[in-house]
Amino acid sequence: MRVLVVEDARALAAIVAEGLRDQGMAVDLAYDGLDAAAKLDLNAYDVVVLDRDLPGIHGDALCRLITERHQRAMVLMLTAADTPADRVAGLSVGADDYLTKPFHFPELVLRVHALARRQPAVRARTLAAAGIELDPIRRTATRDGELLELSVKEFALLEALLRASPAHLSTEDLLEQVWDEHADPFTNTVTVTVGRLRRKLGQPPVISTTPGVGYRITPR
């Protein structure tokens, strides 16, 4: 899952981004509305965590821009404005959810996951293929009933492959979905992580590689 956090309070933005990354999400940061608009033009996001009172472009205007897109991200407004009128105003400009500051971080994580599942391409609660079952909310993955001990990136990589199954994902696709804008496109990090994941999934192999195309979960 790829998330854009738009927050001008840099310390808070860093805390939110780090917490979401710890949950296996690929997170980009923008500190004002103009930077956020530029990132939205370059990247496809599942969820935008959006502060309302932003410099450059106000959060309300940015929210309207997001909702007008053909393939739009889901928007979670994260703001100190907490009156009923504020909530109505935020939702009326197109926000899909509204969370006030200060907030309980586990609630933020659950809301981000819930918004991702509400996208037009509906996301199942549990992903399954080739004997693998993965629950993104509970952060559990099994193969043939055996619990898998996966790192954060291995889990996120397996989730991306399961969501795409039976289609392939290229190295570039995986860098975009599992890492973030700072990922080096010339690195071998995808190859290395796929190798570790393959070993942990065991035999028979379930991740196949098609040269020049990418990786996929091999259907049984």
CA distance 87 to 79: 10
Higher pLDDT, 81 or 213: 213
Are residues 95 and 196 located together in one domain of the fold? Answer: no
Are residues 65 and 139 located together in one domain of the fold? Answer: no
Tell the burial category of 88 from Cβ atoms under 10 Å away from its Cβ (0-12, 13-18, 19+): exposed
The rounded Cα 152 to chain-centroid distance in angstroms is 13
Q: How confident is the model at residue 122 (pLDDT cuts 50, 70, 90)?
A: very low
**What's the confidence (pLDDT) of residue 143?**
95
Are residues 112 and 18 located together in one domain of the fold? Answer: yes
Q: How confident is the model at residue 51 (pLDDT cuts 50, 70, 90)?
A: very high
Residue where a domain stops, chosen among 82, 99, 117: 117
Provide the phi-psi class of 139: left if phi over 0, else alpha when psi is between -120 and 50, else beta: left
CA distance 100 to 153: 29
**What's the confidence (pLDDT) of residue 120?**
59
CA distance 95 to 11: 24
Angle between helices 59-67 and 33-42 (to 10 degrees): 20
In sequence order, the β-bridge partners of residue 76 are 49, 97
Q: To 10 degrees, the CA torsion angle through 173, 175, 177, 182?
A: -140
Task: Tell me the torsion sign for CA atoms 89, 5, 38, 73.
Answer: negative
Q: To 10 degrees, the CA torsion angle through 157, 118, 9, 12?
A: -60
Residue where a domain stops, chosen among 117, 151, 178: 117
Q: What is the CA radius of gyration of the chain?
A: 18
> In this model, does residue 220 exceed pLDDT 80?
no
CA distance 117 to 74: 10
Which domain, by its residues, includes 177? 127-217
Are residues 139 and 96 located together in one domain of the fold? Answer: no
Are residues 57 and 134 located together in one domain of the fold? Answer: no
> In this model, does residue 182 exceed pLDDT 60?
yes
Describe the chain by its helix, strand, coil percentages, rounded to 5. 40, 20, 40
Q: What is the pLDDT of residues 185-218, one digit of tens each?
A: 667 889 999 999 999 999 999 999 999 899 999 8
CA distance 163 to 80: 35
